[in-house]
Amino acid sequence: MEYLVCTGCGKRRDIDVFCARCPACGEPLEVSPPPGGAVRSDAPLLERYAAFLPAGALGLGRSPALTLGEGNTPLLHLERLGEQIGVPRLLVKVEGANPTGSFKDRGSAAGVQRARVLGFSRVGTVSTGNMAASVAAYAARAGMQAVVLVPADIPRAKLAPIVAYSPRLVGVEGDYGTLYGRSLELGARLGIAFINSDDPFRVEGQKTLALELWQQLGGQVPDAVVVPVSSGGHMAALLKGFEELHGLGLTGRVPLLIGVQAAGCAPIVEAYRHGRQAVERWENPATIARAISNPLPPSGNRLLRAHRRGAPLQFITVTDEEILAAYRLLAAEAGVFAQPDAAASLAAVIARQKDGSLEDKTVVAVLTGHGTKDLTPLETAGIELPTCPLDKLAEALAG
């Protein structure tokens, strides 16, 4: 039987009541462990991993699952770059290859599919970037309306990749930080399925990244997986996926998960370093990695609890300079153009390698989004174009 269970107090809840957080303690709910079974390699993501997902609640097998072709993203071994930074077995998981250019598509596929099965005609999300575009795209694919709540003062330029899918977009005036909780209340009242960053079904979709790594590595898991952390939902999903594989006896261990935050907004790292049980709101976030700049991560306490119970989690920060250096290295040395936020994972590998602890390890850096989704660093740096008359080109190129 599938059910929801609170990651905080452990209380069980009926899976057929749409709900993201425990009414008793307020912590995120998650879905019960799956039965396991065969992977259907050629099927769309949700059907491929149906045996590892809440297949009943997602209506898998009853009608074709929602898909835009998410998942199955490249896992590249960056030999040269790895040698250069002292981690020869450096792999990157290129999540920017997903349909809307970010890892969010795995979770949106599951979340919107779930909302459709429950009969919702509207889905919603609170996001200023990747998740907004992703939910809007999957809603369009499903023939549902997407409600996207953004801060009223968001730069208009950031809206184009969201607006493309014609969602109902609302700029909310007021404290954006309280909107996560408020959206869940409003959704319950108005019949809008809000699929935020750590929604239980989004987490199910996001955990397919762990399953895919296991498959792509021929039934093995890497030594370490490095992932940028914002709300904490993605990292919690990876941990859930790896722990379930281990629980099913399919892997010998759970890999070390290293969560990365920007030094300019690192509430989880801060709580982790001080041994606190709860994250505290980060005042005045300031980082170029906007997609991971979440001052009060809704799944922060959940990750701290997982760490306390012995899950192999570590958390570190990287500076904007380190992020930008990794961002440039990835594109110029390996041909992989990732969002600055995504490059934070490579920056963390480089930072961690300084003590030599990763050099003999198989390390996967998760690149959460495609570089084209945020060109700010390149545009800010300014783009120079050396010019040359056509008849002088031979001389210019000979040099």
Minimum distance of a copy of itself from residue 313's CB (angstroms): 28
For a copy of itself, which residue of 16, 83, 321, 333 counts as binding (CB under 8 A)? 333
Do the Cβ atoms of 343 and 323 come closer than 8 Å?
Answer: yes
- Give the x/- contact pattern for a copy of itself in 372-391, rule: CB under 8 A: xx-x--xx---x-xxxxxxx
Rg, C-alpha atoms of the chain: 21
Question: Token pair for residue 2?
Answer: 């599938």
Contact 136, 79 (CB under 8 A): no
Does 80 bind a copy of itself (CB under 8 A)? Our answer is yes
**Binding-site member from 118, 163, 263, 311 for a copy of itself (CB under 8 A):** 163
Please report, as residue ranges, which positions from 177 to 216 form the binding site for a copy of itself (by CB under 8 A): 178-179, 182, 186, 189-190, 192
A 10 A CB-CB count for 395 gives 9
39 binds a copy of itself (CB under 8 A): no
Cβ neighbourhood burial of 337 (10 Å; 0-12, 13-18, 19+) = buried
DSSP character at residue 265: B
Length of the chain: 399
Tracing tokens 């459709």 back to the chain, one arrives at 116
Nearer to a copy of itself, 136 or 279 (CB): 136
Measured CA to CA in angstroms, residue 201 lies from 18, 217, 317 at distances of: 10, 25, 28
Least distance between a copy of itself and beta carbon 96 (Å): 8
Whole-number Å distance between alpha carbons of 331 and 374: 14
Please give the residues from 122 up to 161 whose contact with a copy of itself meets the rule CB under 8 A. 133, 136-143, 147, 149-150, 152, 154, 156-157, 159-161
Binding residues with a copy of itself: total (CB under 8 A): 80
Sheet holding 313-318, edge to edge: 75-77, 90-94, 363-367, 224-228, 256-262, 313-318
In the complex, the smallest distance separating the C-beta of residue 387 from a copy of itself, rounded to whole angstroms, is 4
Compute the least distance from the CB of residue 35 to a copy of itself, in Å: 26
Minimum CB separation from a copy of itself for residue 253, in Å? 24
Residue from the set 99, 111, 205, 222 that interacts with a copy of itself by CB under 8 A:
99
Tokens of 70: 């998410």
Which amino acid appears at position 66 of this protein?
A: L
Site for a copy of itself in 309-328 (CB under 8 A): 328
> Minimum Å distance from CB 133 to a copy of itself?
8
Give the residue, chosen from 120, 165, 242, 272, that forms a contact with a copy of itself under the rule CB under 8 A: 165
Site for a copy of itself in 224-263 (CB under 8 A): none
CA–CA distance, 60 with 127 (Å, rounded to integer): 28
Contact status: 217 vs a copy of itself (CB under 8 A): no
Among 68, 118, 248, 263, binds a copy of itself (CB under 8 A): 68
Sheet arrangement for strand 122-126: 145-151, 122-126, 192-194
Q: Toward a copy of itself, which CB reaches closer, 32 or 84? A: 84
Phi, psi of 95 (to 5 degrees): -75, -15
Report the residue number, 96 or 300, with the smaller CB distance to a copy of itself. Answer: 96
Query: Which is nearer to a copy of itself, 156 or 309 (by Cβ)?
Result: 156
Query: Residue ranges of the alpha helices (H) in 208-362?
Result: 208-216, 233-247, 267-273, 300-308, 320-334, 340-353
296 binds a copy of itself (CB under 8 A): no
Interaction of residue 100 with a copy of itself, rule CB under 8 A: yes
Which residue's CB is nearer to a copy of itself, number 201 or number 272? 201
By CB atoms closer than 10 A (0-12, 13-18, 19+), residue 3 is middle
The residue (of 173 and 283) whose beta carbon lies closer to a copy of itself is: 173
CB 341 within 8 A of CB 290: yes
Identity of the residue, 38 or 398, whose beta carbon is nearer to a copy of itself in the bound complex = 398
Kindly tell me which of 315 and 327 has the beta carbon lying closer to a copy of itself.
327
The single-letter DSSP state of residue 319 is -
Contact between residue 374 and residue 346 where contact means Cβ atoms under 8 Å apart: no
Compare residues 93 and 302 and give the one whose CB is closer to a copy of itself. Answer: 93
